[in-house]
Structure 1
Amino acid sequence: MPENNLFHLAFPVDDLQKAREFYGGVLECEEGRSSECWINFNLYGHQIVTHLAESGAGVKASNNVDADHVPVPHFGIVLPMAEWKALADRLKAKGVEFVIEPKIRFEGEIGEQATMFFLDPSGNALEFKGFADLSTVFAK
């Protein structure tokens, strides 16, 4: 995929002000356009849009992945390892409660990655992954 392609994700939240505080304040995403029923954010160069929907947000299930119960659905981003570590440290300092604490998954195997999961105020699960070498993201 060319590097200039951007990812777009629209998802439900039950309180736009809490979403603004979380995505803008905690995750430090730049806010873009907005209305009374949605807010557009820049998440590491990708567009995420929080849409006001009083039902429909949150975790629906979980799957077992490397001994963790991974929340489903979830979304997030893959970062170079140094950026992932900086984000994990910043989130810990801000008191973010993790569903899955920052850790290394598949250690020593193909696909080794750092991962962390946490919820936004509406209960949407986010996963941030870190790779020492981004060219191995899809390695088998």
Structure 2
Amino acid sequence: MRKTNKVFHLAIPCKELNETVEFYEKLGCKLARRYDDRVTFDFFGDQVVCHLSPNNIDTKPKMYPRHYGITFLEKEEYDSALEFAIQEQLPFFKDPMVRFEGKQEEHMTFFLIDPANNLLEFKYYHDSSMAY
């Protein structure tokens, strides 16, 4: 299990810094650092670095295999995140859905898409043992 003294780090491409900052701040992420070629965010307690790389943007993103996000352990937090995304009119890649219905790994999920076509998944498992 993860100790609280560790932070997961993810680096992704972005096509333009200002729109990237606007999206992630609107999502509720705190801008930690900004340089001429990248921005770093506190992404729900972990670190996401968006590197300016306009020639490396996925023009036809697909949910699988490349996405990242948050798995909520409390349904209320998932519900709040979904309501927030709707209220803030964040761009959905896939509307909320239930995956693996009726199975132990059943979960609720929705996907957002950032300005560089990076896909973000937010999900909640009814059986918390399936979170890993």
- Is this a same-fold pair by TM over 0.5? yes
1:74 aligns with 2:67: yes
Cα distance in 1 between the residues matched to 2:115 and 2:61: 18
Cα distance in 1 between the residues matched to 2:32 and 2:10: 14
Change over 3 Å in CA distance of 1:136–1:73 after alignment to 2: closer
8 Å contact kept, 1:105–1:115:
yes
- Write out the 4+ residue segments of structure 1 that deviate beyond 6 Å after TM superposition: none
Q: As a proportion of its length, which structure holds more helix?
A: 2
* Alignment size in residue pairs: 130
1:103 aligns with 2:103: no
Q: Secondary structure at the match of 2:36?
A: coil
TM (normalized to structure 2)? 0.87
Cα deviation, residue 2, structure 1: 2.3
1:13 aligns with 2:14: yes
Cα distance in 2 between the residues matched to 1:124 and 1:2: 25
Q: As a proportion of its length, which structure holds more strand?
A: 1
The two structures, once aligned, show a CA RMSD in angstroms of 1.8
Cα distance in 1 between the residues matched to 2:2 and 2:95: 32
Residue of structure 2 equivalent to 1:134: 128
Cα distance in 2 between the residues matched to 1:117 and 1:85: 14
Residue of structure 2 equivalent to 1:43: 43
Change over 3 Å in CA distance of 1:28–1:13 after alignment to 2: same
8 Å contact kept, 2:30–2:43:
yes
8 Å contact kept, 1:59–1:125:
no
Q: Secondary structure at the match of 1:22?
A: helix
% identical equivalent positions: 32
TM (normalized to structure 1)? 0.83
Name stretches of at least 5 consecutive residues in structure 2 with no aligned partner: none
Name stretches of at least 5 consecutive residues in structure 1 with no aligned partner: 63-69
